[in-house]
Amino acid sequence: MPPDIASEEGLSNTPRAQQFAEGNKLEVGILWRITRMGLAHRWRMATAVGATVAAAIFQLFIPRYVGEAVDHAQGLLGSGAGTVSPAMAEQALWGAGMMVLFFSILRGLFTLLQNYHGEGVGHCIGYELRLSFYEQVQRLSFSFHDKVHTGDLITRGMLDLEGVRMFISTGIIRIVLLTVLIGGSAWLLTSTNMVLGMLALSFVPFVGWRSAVARLKLRWMWLLMQERLSVITRRMEENLTGIRVVRAFGAQKFELDQFEIASDEALEVAIQRVTVRVSNTTMMTFAFFASMVLVLWVGGLQVVDGEITVGVLAEVLTFMMILQMPVRQIGMLVNSFARASTCGARLFEVIDREPRIKDRAAAPALKLEKGVLRFEDVRFSFGRDSGDARVLDGVSFSVGPGETLGIVGPPGSGKSTIAHLVPRFYDVTGGRVTIDGQDIREVSLDSLRAAVSVVQQDAFLFTASIENNIAYGDPWSDGERIARANRSAQLHDYVAKLPGGYETLVGERGVSLSGGQRQRLSIARGILSDPSIVVFDDSTAAVDAATERRIRLALRAGQDKRATVIISHRLGSLMHADEILFVEAGRVVERGSHAALMALGGKYHDLYRLQSRPGDDHGVEVAPLGETS
Amino acid sequence: MSVAEQTRHPPKAVVGSQVSQDEEMFGRAFDGRVIRRFLGFCKPYKVGLAISILSVLVYTATQVAIPLVILYAIDNALVEGVRDRTLLELVVLLFAGVVILNYGANFLQENLVGRAAERVLIDLRRAMFTHLQSVSLSFMDRTEVGRLMSRLQSDVNALQEFLETSIFAVGDLVLLAGIVVVLLALDWNLGLLTLSIVPILFVMRIIWLPRAREAFMKAREANSIANGALAEAIHGVRTVQGMVREKVNFALYNDRARQNLLAHLRAAKFAQANVPIVDTLTGGAMAIVIVVGGNQVLGGTLDLGVMVAFIFYVQRFFDPIRSLTLQYSFMQRAMVSGQRILEVLDVPIAVQDKPDAIDMRECEGSIEFENVTFGYVKNQPVLRNVSFKVKPGETVALVGPTGSGKTSATALVHRFYDIWDGAVRVGGHDVRDVTQESLGRHVAMVLQEPFLFTGSVFDNIRFRCTDASRQAVIDAAKAVGAHDFIERLPQGYDTVLEQRGANLSLGQRQLLSFARAIVADTKILILDEATASIDSYTEMQIQQALAKLLEGRTGLVIAHRLATIRGCDRIIVLQDGEIREEGNHDQLIAAKGMYAGLYTLNYASFDDVPEELADELADAGSTT
């Protein structure tokens, strides 16, 4: 595996040519890996393969009896009544007929087993892959999810997974079937008649060569097509999401032109692909029929010369009829291989990735005593290179139970990053973060994140009831506790008024909540399990000031055992904090209580003036609801 | 319940939606309306399609002919007594001719149909996309982009499957008919006897189908539910990790995935139950040919070649039936997708140009509302009898609590919706009398949530005005104070904004959308000021940019900040869709109405005012 795949920096976005070249190298490895997964289901796989072989063998026997029947019918005709009695011939016909029927039934039953278990193994693998993919999505750290489009992950977890799963039935089982059928008929054909057999099979090498060539071409086009289609998708999606902007600027025509260009480019490849695919499959069929012509010609001459019987020729031709289906399937096999290897590469790229943030071996659980959070000279940058801009540069603070720390600063100053470092969504690049003296990198993630709660800016709602959404971090909590947390977040009254109350479904398919309501729900979610350390990351930006104040008062009640960090650009949210840090460009430039910072007359003071109403100098002091407006 | 069980299934936890996201997946296989509409889309390619149908016929005829040629060779050149080398060679030549014809026709049919299919798909997608550009915004407001995208993509792709294989269905039907005809023509009695097994197949299928269909539906549903849960995990991963829900979710997802597995295994069982039936019947038919036909050959009433041909045909007879079954399920799926695509195409275009709409070339920039009544839902007007006028060059602020109708009023200037009663005039013209395109040339809008497209900063600023020079773009950026931060981006103006500018702050995006409005250089500017979530620094910058932006233009501003409101020439206070007060800041303060009340409450933004307070004030205001 190339080294860059192992690092957690997004998914490969390598140029097509490189993808193509690497894909060819990786292909065998990926297909073998899928096969191994299939082989792990020993019994099912063995049944599928065994049934496949049996079904193919029975299918091969059928022409033999047909040929025999033809010879019996013909033998009587040719040599007159003397040699074979009509009764015997009739008996032989009955025998052949019954054998054909019997073998057909067996073939059907074995084909059933073959398909059912072949698909079954595929579904089992699909199930296993689903689980690993899901687990992996949950494990991979923020730095991965920051870089990878959700749409890309969804495609990999759904469509690519299908492509891999199908490989068992459309690839492996089919290749067994085709090998037995073509190999078996090659043996039977050549043993029936060497020359005719060779002629009958003369199309095989040709088809093999064609499919090898076509496979490469098709794969290349597939990559090209994906690229062009994704442009169309992006154009459409952005247009529809930004439809108001498009209309506001009367840009429909412009957008349509852009769409047209993207469409034409995709169409060009699509049509090329059709031509390649069609010329490939039709050539295969042609080669097959051409060898049939040869068989009839050469075989016919042999019959005329009396070297073989008509029955032999009929048998060879019947064999060929049976081969018509497998020949068509070689094309599909090629497709299945190409699809499985490409999809597999994309799927395994996610599954194999090592998350950047994970537990050390045998990491102990966090031992909470008081719950003191300390940042000690913390430095952080997103990239790994030393050249990357520092997001945090030497941030130190300490906040203990009952204390509140406020963090303020211009956008991009690193405020949110501080919030993300506490539950170890990212690891520091220098210095350390400790809770009660334990470096958070030394304790287990589960215990750390259970003790810490970060209420984030953008509240995500799951498709579930409001109650389940609030109880997300502690699904065992009872209704009373949920309501209490929700009361503190000032959302209870609203929920109680809903027709479905706490059972009301929210999220993608449910009732839609306003930005402020979502944030309040997220606050309720964050405080439900009484974490020792809570970080509010600008989590009231969309909540009106009066409600925010009520939330703050409600939270104060349980605050004596909890360390609170409030990040906001609204000073009213944090001016009551015990200590306030003013952060700029990743550094703490001012720190102290509100009064001390005001006395300092620095940046905090300026910001405070800025947020007060212009021209009303006294506004701050008398703000009736404790706001800074 | 055991402890282990409890940890696996907490009472208040689910993953994903409990119901399938797909609507009815198995619709009718045949819907005349859908078919007719689609034929319309095929029309431009009718020549190619006609040729390909012709090719299908030729192809099928050659398929049917191949065993006949072999039969002829056996009966006339190979059977003892009639062996004839010259005739054999002639027949082989004929055979070679048929094979070449077969190849040509095969290539032609698949290639032409494949091309036409790709084109039709693009056309369909284009038709939907084009249509969506002009459907009413209220439809777009109601509909999630994701659902539209699934119609534009999944449904169109489902049709691809169908279109590419539909030609084979035609071929299969013809082949089936051809084989029946040839069998009966070769030997009536033996033909009838052989075909007598077909009804058995139909009976079997009728018993099998409803149960199989149910199993398939369950499998699809389970799949959709499991996929929904995965999508949710991907979208909400940050919350999942923050709340340490990984283990619980994994256990719940495991159940989902397992149900999906079981449903699919069951469906596979049903799908495969068919195979032995078809194989047994094929074997039965062959046995009939061998025993009955063989005896007839013995009795001299049947040619040996006919018997061999029968065996060939019987083997091929079930192939088309098998692939037609597959076709049937493609067709069902295609019909459902087709209906969904038509649903999109049939969304009414609410706002349309009049046939004699004029192209408004010049516009002095006035806006006038005359007794405008408008709403989105019948009998629930959002604006009631609203009248006001904005003179060219004037800036008017619309103020009022959430839900007062501010946004609706601004949308009407651009004719995003048609009003119920009254008139909206821009530059003296009723907006319904001018083309929407020309209206767009004179009215620009800056929305609350700035929207950027994937593309360079440069392209984003000039957006529709593709002929804007680089200098014009830079000037615009300088005017709104965006130049400095753009220059600091890795490639300056050529920096490509990933994921709609997610790497820029909201304030920066706002400035870019201001610059965009400056480049568009319209007489009228409509601005929906962003609410709370901008920090004070950017806010100051934005105030300055705003002043620049409104210079020399008519402005209608949905204002939230007092600073913005005070900078406007006139203020209109809206509540519950009606105009409450109108005048400049000093006048309104002097009037001691709702505005004055809000103002003295000391909020920096009107949106901070709690609803109940706003209501109180409104009552107070109306009584004074």
Which structure tokens are listed for A160?
Answer: 């690519």
What's the confidence (pLDDT) of residue B460? Answer: 86
Rounded to whole angstroms, how far apart are CA atoms B388 and B398? 11
Write out pLDDT tens, residues B340-395: 888 888 888 877 888 888 888 888 889 999 999 998 777 888 899 999 999 998 99
Rounded to whole angstroms, how far apart are CA atoms B434 and A577? 58
Rounded to whole angstroms, how far apart are CA atoms A511 and A74? 79
Whether the per-residue pLDDT at A617 is higher than 60: the answer is no
Q: Residues of B with CB below 8 A from A69's CB?
A: 290, 294
Whether the per-residue pLDDT at A418 is higher than 80: the answer is yes
Nearest chain B alpha carbon to A94? B291
Q: Which of A73, A101, A251 sits opposite B284 (nearest CB)?
A: A101
Are A292 and B99 a contacting pair at CB < 8 A?
Answer: yes
Q: Which of B73, B444, B562 sits opposite A296 (nearest CB)?
A: B73
What's the confidence (pLDDT) of residue A66? Answer: 77
> Which has the closest alpha carbon to A174: A339, A345, A347, A346?
A339
Write out pLDDT tens, residues B483-541: 888 888 888 888 887 666 666 777 788 888 888 888 888 889 888 876 544 566 677 77
Chain B residues 429-468 with a CB less than 8 Å from chain A: 436-437, 439-441, 443-447, 451, 453-454, 463-464, 466
Are A248 and B444 a contacting pair at CB < 8 A?
Answer: yes
Write out pLDDT tens, residues A524-573: 999 998 899 999 988 887 777 677 888 888 888 777 789 999 998 777 78
Which structure tokens are listed for B532?
Answer: 């709370």
B312 in contact with chain A, both atoms CB, cutoff 8 A: yes
Whether the per-residue pLDDT at A627 is higher than 50: the answer is no
Lowest pLDDT segment from A3-12, A147-156, B405-414, B433-442: A3-12
Tell me, what DSSP letter sits at residue A458?
S
Q: Binning pLDDT at 50, 70 and 90, where does residue A485 land?
A: very high
Q: Which among A485-499, B197-211, B302-316 has the top mean pLDDT?
A: A485-499
Q: Binning pLDDT at 50, 70 and 90, where does residue A40 land?
A: very high
A607 in contact with chain B, both atoms CB, cutoff 8 A: yes
Are B149 and A62 a contacting pair at CB < 8 A?
Answer: no
Torsion sign (Cα): B495, B501, B506, B509 = positive
> For the residues A70-91, what does the mean pLDDT come to?
64
Q: Which of B88, B111, B451 sits opposite A242 (nearest CB)?
A: B451
Are A310 and B304 a contacting pair at CB < 8 A?
Answer: yes
> Which has the closest alpha carbon to A192: A58, A317, A323, A59?
A317
* 3-state helix vs strand vs coil in chain A, percent to 5: 65, 10, 25
* A578-591 per-residue burial string, b: 16 or more CB within 10 A, e: under 16: ebbbbbeebbbebb
Lowest pLDDT segment from A42-46, A413-417, A486-490: A413-417
CA–CA distances in Å: residue B307 to residues A38, A189, B68, B551: 44, 21, 11, 94
Are A289 and B102 a contacting pair at CB < 8 A?
Answer: yes
Whether the per-residue pLDDT at A623 is higher than 60: the answer is no
Rounded to whole angstroms, how far apart are CA atoms A263 and B75? 57
Rounded to whole angstroms, how far apart are CA atoms A11 and A350? 8
Contacts of B60 (CB under 8 A, 6+ apart): B171, B174, B175, B178
Answer yes or no: are the C-beta atoms of A572 and A627 closer than 8 Å. Answer: yes
> Which has the closest alpha carbon to A487: A427, A527, A457, A458?
A527
* A85-94 per-residue burial string, b: 16 or more CB within 10 A, e: under 16: eeeebbebbb
Q: Residues of B with CB below 8 A from A318's CB?
A: 311-312, 315
Alpha helices in B187-303 (DSSP H): 188-195, 198-235, 237-242, 246-288, 294-299
Q: Binning pLDDT at 50, 70 and 90, where does residue B157 land?
A: confident
Chain-centre distance for alpha carbon B603: 44
Write out pLDDT tens, residues A233-244: 878 888 887 887
What's the confidence (pLDDT) of residue B97? Answer: 95
CA–CA distances in Å: residue A80 to residues A67, A72, A86, A274, B79: 19, 12, 10, 57, 14
Chain B residues 345-404 with a CB less than 8 Å from chain A: none
A383 in contact with chain B, both atoms CB, cutoff 8 A: no
Could you tell me what percent of chain B has a pLDDT over 70? 88
> For the residues B590-605, what does the mean pLDDT come to?
72
Q: Which among A33-47, A597-611, B220-234, B530-544 has the top mean pLDDT?
A: A33-47
What's the confidence (pLDDT) of residue A620? Answer: 34
What's the confidence (pLDDT) of residue A306? Answer: 83
Lowest pLDDT segment from A42-51, A381-390, A577-586, B86-95: A381-390
Q: A343 vs chain B: nearest CA distance in angstroms?
A: 17
Residue B8 CB burial class (10 angstroms; 0-12, 13-18, ≥19): middle
> For the residues B251-264, what does the mean pLDDT come to?
93
Q: B476 vs chain A: nearest CA distance in angstroms?
A: 16
> For the residues B14-35, what does the mean pLDDT come to?
62
Whether the per-residue pLDDT at B22 is higher than 80: the answer is no
A268 in contact with chain B, both atoms CB, cutoff 8 A: no
A282 in contact with chain B, both atoms CB, cutoff 8 A: yes
Tell me, what DSSP letter sits at residue B76?
I
CA angle, residues A400, A405, A407, in degrees to nearest 5: 150
Residue whose tokens read 């003071």: A605
What's the confidence (pLDDT) of residue A467? Answer: 92
Rounded to whole angstroms, how far apart are CA atoms B130 and A265? 18
Rounded to whole angstroms, how far apart are CA atoms B178 and B166? 18
Mutation target for B interface from A47, A278, A357: give the one with most B CBs within 10 A. Answer: A278
Write out pLDDT tens, residues A421-443: 999 999 999 999 999 999 999 99
Write out pLDDT tens, residues A291-310: 999 999 999 998 888 888 88
Are A293 and B99 a contacting pair at CB < 8 A?
Answer: yes
Rounded to whole angstroms, how far apart are CA atoms A479 and B12? 10
Are B149 and A240 a contacting pair at CB < 8 A?
Answer: yes
For chain B, give the longest Cα–Cα distance. Answer: 123
Contacts of A209 (CB under 8 A, 6+ apart): none
What's the confidence (pLDDT) of residue B532? Answer: 47
Question: In which order are the strands placed within the sheet that holds A587-592?
Answer: A452-455, A533-537, A563-567, A404-408, A579-584, A587-592
What's the confidence (pLDDT) of residue B4? Answer: 46
B301 in contact with chain A, both atoms CB, cutoff 8 A: no
> For the residues B429-435, what does the mean pLDDT come to?
90
Lowest pLDDT segment from A109-113, A318-322, A392-396: A318-322
> Which has the closest alpha carbon to A54: B321, B266, B279?
B279
Question: Does residue B479 or residue A508 have the better pLDDT?
Answer: B479
Write phi, then psi, for A447 (nearest 5 degrees): -70, -35
Nearest chain B alpha carbon to A541? B533
Q: Residues of B with CB below 8 A from A466's CB?
A: none
Whether the per-residue pLDDT at A98 is higher than 80: the answer is yes
> Which has the closest alpha carbon to B59: A314, A320, A289?
A289
Are B78 and A78 a contacting pair at CB < 8 A?
Answer: no
Helices B188-195, B156-186: axis angle to 10 degrees equals 140
Lowest pLDDT segment from A407-411, A467-471, B28-32, B245-249: B28-32
A–B interface: beta-carbon pairs under 8 A: 460
Whether the per-residue pLDDT at A318 is higher than 80: the answer is no
Residue whose tokens read 């046995």: B287
Whether the per-residue pLDDT at A129 is higher than 90: the answer is yes
Are A310 and B79 a contacting pair at CB < 8 A?
Answer: yes
Rounded to whole angstroms, how far apart are CA atoms A81 and B298? 10
Answer yes or no: are the C-beta atoms of B373 and B422 closer than 8 Å. Answer: yes
CA angle, residues B272, B277, B280, in degrees to nearest 5: 130
Enter the pTM of the model.
0.79
Residue B540 CB burial class (10 angstroms; 0-12, 13-18, ≥19): middle
Chain B residues 96-125 with a CB less than 8 Å from chain A: 96, 99, 102-103, 106-107, 110-111, 114-115, 118-119, 122, 125
Answer yes or no: are the C-beta atoms of A328 and A285 closer than 8 Å. Answer: yes
What's the confidence (pLDDT) of residue B614? Answer: 60
The secondary element (H helix, E strand) that includes residue A563 is strand A563-567
A626 in contact with chain B, both atoms CB, cutoff 8 A: no
Are A624 and B540 a contacting pair at CB < 8 A?
Answer: no
* B73-110 per-residue burial string, b: 16 or more CB within 10 A, e: under 16: bbbbbbbeeebeeebbeebbeebbebbeebbbbbbbbb
Q: B323 vs chain A: nearest CA distance in angstroms?
A: 12
Q: Residues of B with CB below 8 A from A240's CB?
A: 132, 140, 145, 148-149
How would DSSP label each residue in A328-380?
HHHHHHHHHHHHHHHHHHHHHHHHTPPPSS-PPTTPPPP--SS--EEEEEEEE
> Which has the closest alpha carbon to A45: A158, A123, A133, A127?
A123
Answer yes or no: are the C-beta atoms of B18 and B256 closer than 8 Å. Answer: no
Rounded to whole angstroms, how far apart are CA atoms A307 and A312? 10
What's the mean pLDDT when you consider all of chain B?
Answer: 82
Torsion sign (Cα): A60, A62, A65, A69 = negative
What's the confidence (pLDDT) of residue A132? Answer: 95
Q: Binning pLDDT at 50, 70 and 90, where does residue B613 land?
A: low
Bridge partners of B153, per DSSP, are none
How would DSSP label each residue in B208-232?
HHHHHHHHHHHHHHHHHHHHHHHHH
Could you tell me what percent of chain B has a pLDDT over 90? 13
Q: Residues of B with CB below 8 A from A243's CB?
A: 132, 137, 140
Which structure tokens are listed for A162?
Answer: 């299908």
- Neighbour count for residue B24 (Cβ, 10 Å): 10
Nearest chain B alpha carbon to A299? B78
> For the residues B574-603, what does the mean pLDDT come to?
81
Answer yes or no: are the C-beta atoms of B156 and B334 closer than 8 Å. Answer: no
Nearest chain A alpha carbon to B467? A254
Q: Binning pLDDT at 50, 70 and 90, where does residue A81 land?
A: very low
Answer yes or no: are the C-beta atoms of B176 and B60 closer than 8 Å. Answer: no
Which structure tokens are listed for B133?
Answer: 């550009």
Write phi, then psi, for B326 (nearest 5 degrees): -65, -45
What's the confidence (pLDDT) of residue B499? Answer: 60
